[in-house]
Structure formats: C-alpha cells, structure tokens
C-alpha cells in the first residue's frame, strides 16, 4: 500500500501530492514539450529500469532536451520514490518537462528542465478483460509518419493517441488499432500488438510506426524461450482479422488478449492457449527480475 499522502519527486525533493505543482509557464504544459516513461514495479523490484531510463535519455536527446541529472542519479531517485511510498507493486510515471520559459516556442528560453517522478498505481483496462479479452476497432486517426515525429520518442504530446482513444471509447471498445499513412498496422493507442497464426507469432515492424516497447521486447524474449518464432512484419488488418489469437503488450497494459476486431471474432472469440501461456510466463519473469527497491526496514 502507498503511504498517505502520496509523495512525489519534484526537482530533487520528495513533496506531498498536494504540493507537487508546476508553473503555468512550463513548456511541458504549454506545448507538450518533454518526454516520459511508464515503468512497472513487481514484488518490490522495478522491472527493466535500466532499459526504461536509457530510452528516456534517448528521447530527451532526440528532442534536444538535456536532463540535468545522470542516469545513475535518476535510477536512485526513482527507487527512492518507490520506497518512500512503500509500493511493492505499482506503476511509475517519470516525466521530464522542458521547464519554465516564455510564452513562445523557443525551448532555449527554458533554462532548467523539470523532473517529476510519480509512484502510484494504474488500471488501464477492467480486470475482467484480462480473462475475457478486449474488443478492438480500427481508428480513423493515423499514426504520424516518422518524418514528422519518430515513434521512438515518448513525447508529452500525446494528442494523436488521445484522439484515437476517444474513437475507441465512443465506439464502445476498450482499444483500437492505429494504422500508418500507408494503411499498415502500426500499434494500438498505447500498446504493441501481436498475432498468432499456425503456431507462428507476428508483430508490426518498428519501421511501420510502432514504439519499440520495453514490454514488447520482454514478451518476445519470453516467446522465444517458449520455442515460438517471432516475425516482425509489415502487417495489414487482414492478418489480424484472420489470426488464430491476438494479444497486446505495454507497460501499463502488461499482456492482455484481444478477441474481436472490427466486429470480427479473432479465432474462436476467446483468449487463446498460447496467449495464456505467454501471460503466465511473462508474470514469472516480471515478478522474479528487476532492480530491488531499498525499503526502510
């Protein structure tokens, strides 16, 4: 259980949630200028923390944002924030904003980036959907092409994903498939997508517009250990319509089955056996590895 009140890391200090505030002149608020990571805590360990921090610093570098502390200092701040809230299982949101500046786009007028670390919980989908599976639609909102903004940058500007999520909710679905400008499958609004067909596993290529997700990578390792062959391919909607099984992966989502797409049943319309085995093995990996949290005894 988290302590009360929730303690937030804000620019080098742990402060109560009620005091964790940013300036209205912060460019993260004004322009979505910044980057973030979502990270899971399992059984007192932070899952794939190093990989998440490397990606965070790469996102920042890509947008010419210099994080004012080292990766080692960020790791220490992250686990200490988890410990301060006494979280054994939960979710971390690590945010880097451009910082306070003028009412203009120029990022060089923001002298000091902001650092926010929130360690709490998250529920992306109803619990029962992990047993029964998600219904998906095709979103009309397309993923931006890499020439506009690389999908590998986890930017604070998430409006593209939010507009697609609104479509899903308005259609009465929990999640949707986002296509790239060529009409191929990129990813979901916040997850990577996998399909299983004739014992083979397929997932869209990174070049198709998918984020190279940390959970995506972990699940691919799990499946290879299971003896499954994983193919990264250019995928159309047809491959999902005709798949035997389908599941989504993401830090917040973890691994969750999908059983219907555009009102077409996937396989027999129930979570598949391979998907169930993947979920079981991922849980074992997640709960047995990671960076230990230094809780106070």
Give the residue numbers marked as catalytic.
Answer: 154
Pairing of strands 34-42, 13-16: unpaired
Residue tagged 């596993």 (tokens):
201
How does DSSP classify residue 100? B
- Which residue's entry shows tokens 């191929």? 184
DSSP string, 198-267: TTEEEEE-GGGT----HHHHHHHHHHHHTT--EEEE---HHHHHT-SEEEEEETTTEEEEEEEETTEEST
Report DSSP state, residue 17.
G
Question: Which CA distances in Å does 290 have to 59, 214, 285?
Answer: 22, 13, 9
């Amino acid at each position: 259980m988290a302590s009360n009140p929730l303690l937030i890391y804000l620019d080098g200090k742990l402060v109560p949630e009620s005091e964790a505030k940013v300036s209205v002149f912060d460019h993260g608020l004004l322009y979505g200028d910044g980057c973030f990571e979502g990270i899971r805590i399992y059984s007192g360990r932070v899952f794939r923390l190093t990989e998440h921090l490397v990606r965070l610093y790469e996102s920042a570098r890509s947008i010419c944002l210099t994080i004012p502390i080292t990766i080692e200092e960020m790791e220490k701040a992250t686990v200490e924030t988890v410990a301060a809230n006494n979280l054994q299982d939960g979710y971390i949101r690590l945010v880097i904003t451009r910082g306070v500046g003028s009412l203009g786009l120029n990022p060089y007028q923001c002298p000091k980036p902001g650092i926010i670390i929130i360690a709490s919980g998250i529920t992306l989908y109803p619990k029962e959907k992990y047993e029964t599976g998600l219904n998906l639609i095709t979103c009309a909102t397309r993923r931006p092409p890499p020439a506009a903004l690389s999908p590998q940058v986890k930017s604070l500007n998430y409006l593209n994903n939010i507009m697609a999520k609104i479509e899903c909710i308005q259609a009465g679905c929990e999640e949707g498939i986002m296509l790239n400008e060529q009409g191929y499958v990129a990813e979901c609004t916040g997850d990577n997508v996998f399909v299983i067909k004739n014992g083979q596993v397929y997932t869209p290529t990174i070049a198709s517009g998918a984020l190279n997700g940390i959970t995506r990578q972990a699940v691919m390792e799990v499946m290879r250990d299971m003896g499954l062959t994983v193919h990264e391919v250019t995928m159309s909607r047809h491959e999902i319509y005709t798949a035997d099984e389908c599941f989504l992966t993401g830090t917040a989502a973890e691994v969750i089955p999908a059983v219907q797409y555009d009102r077409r049943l996937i396989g027999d319309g129930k979570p598949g056996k391979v998907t169930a085995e993947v979920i079981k093995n991922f849980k074992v990996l997640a709960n047995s590895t990671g960076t230990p949290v230094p809780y106070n005894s």
